[in-house]
């Protein structure tokens, strides 16, 4: 398979998406290395969501080239979906199913065997400290726990890449850090992490960060390099410097 031939989990080459005469994503090019934590930042309306949808095989690009986990974003979207995990702030788990049922359901989607699901399920519940809550409905859990569980479910089938769309919004500072511990753990296990966030301190935790402005990638480097380039001490000012010039606030 082509996945072994390239060191990149994601390759985007002039990836473009138009809606009528509106260019949501404008010839975006970047590469994400295997096992990397890649921060995907941008203002609301900059085109992040559209870009992620293309990379996840949910939306076919208008032009450009792209592969995710070695699979083509035009022709192999089904195989892409099988090789990635996805978690967003809005929809992640079924609130009216229990912790165990959620794990079983999502693992079942990816075709894991019953035995493997059972052993891994026990491991996961123990690791997250949810033994007492295993049969509780997910809706009754605090947000932070839900998000940790949702992440664990998203990487349960050991995908090559996991996409996280604002996973920590509204989560308390301590749980937010625990969440990032889970991200590190996944990255150490070789899973590529593609994450969007509005917390700029979290941008510091990424290996590399890209910042989208008006459908284009305006900057892409390590946090240290970016701060050096912009002659500032915080990612906050880097982001502000770039996004302030955005023309597309209302999009």
Partner 1 sequence: MELAIEATDLSKWYGKEKILAVDHVSLAVKPGEIFGLIGPDGAGKTSIFRMLTTLLLPNTGTARVNGFDVVKDYLEIRDRVGYMPGRFSLYQDLTVEENLGFFATVFNTTIEENYHLIKDIYVQLEPFKKRYAGKLSGGMKQKLALCCALIHRPEVLFLDEPTTGVDPVSRKEFWEMLARLKQHGITILVATPYMDEATRCDRIALIQEGRILQVDTPAAITAAYPDRLFQVKGGSMSATLRALNKLDGIIRCYGSGEFAHVAVPATATHMEQRIKDHLLAQGLTDVVVRPAIPTIEDVFIKFTLEKKA
Footprint on this chain of partner 1 (rule: CB under 8 A): 42-46, 89, 142-144, 166, 169-175, 177, 180, 184, 198-201, 204-205, 223-224, 234-236, 239-240, 243-244, 246, 248-251
Give the number of other Cβ atoms within 10 Å of residue 201's Cβ: 12
Looking at the Cβ atoms of 14 and 139, the one nearer to partner 1 is 139
Pick between residue 68 and residue 243 the one whose CB is nearest to partner 1: 243
Q: Based on CB atoms, which residue is closest to partner 1, 98 or 175?
A: 175
Please, what sign has the CA dihedral across residues 199, 201, 203, 205? negative
CB of 135 to partner 1, least distance (A): 16
- The residue (of 115 and 188) whose beta carbon lies closer to partner 1 is 188
Written as six digits, the tokens of 190 are: 């070789």
Minimum distance between the CB of residue 182 and partner 1, rounded to whole angstroms?
A: 12
Q: Judging by DSSP bridges, how do beta strands 22-33 and 8-19 pair with one another?
A: antiparallel
Residue with tokens 């996973």: 167
To the nearest whole angstrom, how small is the minimum distance from the Cβ of residue 92 to partner 1? 13
Distance in Å, CB of 27 to partner 1, minimum = 21
The torsion angles phi and psi of 85, rounded to 5 degrees, stand at: -120, 155
Smallest distance, Å, CB 195 to partner 1? 15
Nearer Cβ to partner 1 (1/174) = 174
Three-state secondary-structure class, residue 240: helix
**Contact predicate 185/153, CB 8 Å:** no
Q: How far is the CB of 171 from partner 1 (least distance, A)?
A: 6
Query: 43 or 107, CB closer to partner 1?
Result: 43
Spell out the residues 6+ positions from residue 62 whose beta carbon is closer than 8 angstroms to its own: 16, 17, 18
Q: Are 131 and 125 in contact (CB under 8 A)?
A: yes
| Percent composition of the chain: helix, strand, coil (DSSP 3-state, to 5) | 35, 25, 35
């Amino acid at each position: 398979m082509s996945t072994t031939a390239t060191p990149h989990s994601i390759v985007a080459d002039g990836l473009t998406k138009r809606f009528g005469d509106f260019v949501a994503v404008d010839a975006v090019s970047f590469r994400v290395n295997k096992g990397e934590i890649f921060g995907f930042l941008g203002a609301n309306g900059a085109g992040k969501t559209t870009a992620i949808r293309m990379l996840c095989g949910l939306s076919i690009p208008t032009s450009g080239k792209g592969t995710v986990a070695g699979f083509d974003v035009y022709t192999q979207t089904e195989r892409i979906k099988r090789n990635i995990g996805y978690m967003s702030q809005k929809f992640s788990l079924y609130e009216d199913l229990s912790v165990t049922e959620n794990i079983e359901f999502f693992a079942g989607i990816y075709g894991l065997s019953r035995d493997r699901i059972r052993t891994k399920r026990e491991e996961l519940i123990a690791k997250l400290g949810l033994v007492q809550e295993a049969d509780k409905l997910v809706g009754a859990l605090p947000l932070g726990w839900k998000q940790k569980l949702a992440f664990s479910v998203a990487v349960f089938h050991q995908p090559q890449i996991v996409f996280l769309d604002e996973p920590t919004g509204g989560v308390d500072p301590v749980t937010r850090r625990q969440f990032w511990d889970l991200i590190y753990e996944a990255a150490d296990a070789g899973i590529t992490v593609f994450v969007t966030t509005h917390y700029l301190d979290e941008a510091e935790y990424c290996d590399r960060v890209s910042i989208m402005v008006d459908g284009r990638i305006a900057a892409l480097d390590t946090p240290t390099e970016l701060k050096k380039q912009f002659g500032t001490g915080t990612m906050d000012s880097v982001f502000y410097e770039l996004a302030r010039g955005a023309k597309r606030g209302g999009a």
